[in-house]
Amino acid sequence: MTDAPANPSARLAPSEAERILARSRKWLIALLFFGTIINYVDRQVLSLLKPTISAEYGWGDAEFAHFASASQLAAAGALLFVGWLIDRFGVRLAYGTAVGLWSLAGIAHAFAATVGQFVAARVALVAVEAVNTPAAVKAAAQYLPIKQRSMAVGIVNTAPNLGNILAPLTVVPFAVVFGWKAAFIVTGLLGFVWLAFWIAGTRRLRALPRAEAPGEGPARSSYGEALADRKTWAIMGAKAITDMFWWFFTFWLPDLFNKVFHLSQSELVGPTALAFSLAALGALTSGKLFGVLLDGRSVNAARKTSMLLYALVILPIPLALTVDSAWTAAALIGLGLFAHQGFSTNIFGFAADAIPARRVATVMALGAVAGNVAGFGIQEATGRLLTNGIGYAPLFWVAAFAYLAALGWIHLLVPRIVAEDGDQPG
């Protein structure tokens, strides 16, 4: 597997070659979509089965918070190398290898004989799964034209939410019948099914030509080069400010429904699925909204207007803790997750548009490091707030205004976003 721009369809008639290329691009989007679903199903198994696993290993809220935060530190550490690996070995090889390794790590949970072995399997899973987002964004930047790229990033960014929807609807009933260990084995095996399609479906891809800025050559990216760019710091800051709340809801939403609304493990499946269903719509609408806003406007105006709209949508999220119905709370939280995914998709699009393709994975990896380090902090803060009886309210109030702060940070560092390949309205 390589990402060389060689054209395997060169001997075909132009029209036939174009059809093959178009099919390959659709396959790429579909494979990134399903790979990301598998990624998030694997992640959600632990939080969904928390009551059963915690009882077996004797974990409380504080222990679960430490465990979650340690997993995020593992992801952050892995991400320091992920961008370099993807840029060095290419999306096809790096992403395919990663899915195979994280699937093995997921299966290993079922065979852990001690808590230490379970933690080791989890850390390995989370560390290798860190490849997913940088690889997906790089693939979009490298293989798709800008208009298809924005929609593709939006489609792929719905996958985490669909994974979070499918996981409670499938994993919990499956674990009730077959046991929690079987749930880890089956979700792990899905990755190997995907891998076979990835190998077959990406063979005919070729990279788009991308113009380099004056003085830039085809050399590999470096962290020093990336960190010298204000756009990198804009993405890192925005990811840190916003991703901490995604990790908070991903880890703690089932527990919130259990503690605040007194739902059992089976009863919380519906509200959890509703919240993440709305999140999926946020990512889809972002891809469409950006395309509409781009018509007759600059990339800068389209991106920032879209981000502003989503930042305003999340403002009512603290009301979720004031209602009596878990379903109403799920709708309000889902609206916030809708806004998060819309905003997040625009960050990905900003990176794919404005960062040179040869260092997109490196920049996205640095952004993910920032998001995971912030996630570590919020996991520890959540454990302390719950253990001390304060509850979830402070986290919801900070979440309400975080996205306006993230947009302000982006605008401060990058007053004008310009598409790297020049493919934008004049």
**Which whole-number Å values give the CA distances from 380 to 5, 121, 252, 399, in the listed order?**
45, 21, 12, 16
Which CATH number belongs to the domain containing residue 101 in this structure?
A: 1.20.1250.20
Predicted local distance difference test score (pLDDT) of residue 402: 96
DSSP state for residue 12 in the 8-state scheme: S
- Could you tell me if residue 4 is inside a domain? no
Range of the domain at 368: 16-205+220-413
- Could you tell me if residue 294 is inside a domain? yes
- Could you tell me if residue 426 is inside a domain? no
**Rounded to whole angstroms, how far apart are CA atoms 59 and 50?**
9
- Could you tell me if residue 198 is inside a domain? yes
List the structure tokens of 102. 């994280």
**Rounded to whole angstroms, how far apart are CA atoms 364 and 348?**
8
pTM of the predicted model, to two decimals? 0.69
Q: Which residue has the tokens 């925005």?
A: 238
Residues whose CB is less than 8 angstroms from the CB of residue 116 and which lie 6 or more positions away in sequence, other chains included: none
Residues of the chain with pLDDT under 70: 1-14, 16-17, 59, 63-64, 66-67, 115, 146-147, 150, 157, 161, 205-221, 420-426
- Could you tell me if residue 210 is inside a domain? no
Predicted local distance difference test score (pLDDT) of residue 209: 60
Predicted local distance difference test score (pLDDT) of residue 56: 74
**CA torsion angle 327 328 333 338 (round to 10):** 90
- Could you tell me if residue 246 is inside a domain? yes
**Rounded to whole angstroms, how far apart are CA atoms 41 and 67?**
18
- Could you tell me if residue 51 is inside a domain? yes
**Rounded to whole angstroms, how far apart are CA atoms 244 and 237?**
11
Domain count, the chain: 1
Predicted local distance difference test score (pLDDT) of residue 406: 96
Q: Decide: residue 100, CB within 10 A, 0-12 exposed, 13-18 middle, 19+ buried.
A: middle
Residues in the chain: 426
Residues whose CB is less than 8 angstroms from the CB of residue 182 and which lie 6 or more positions away in sequence, other chains included: 110, 174, 175
- Could you tell me if residue 422 is inside a domain? no
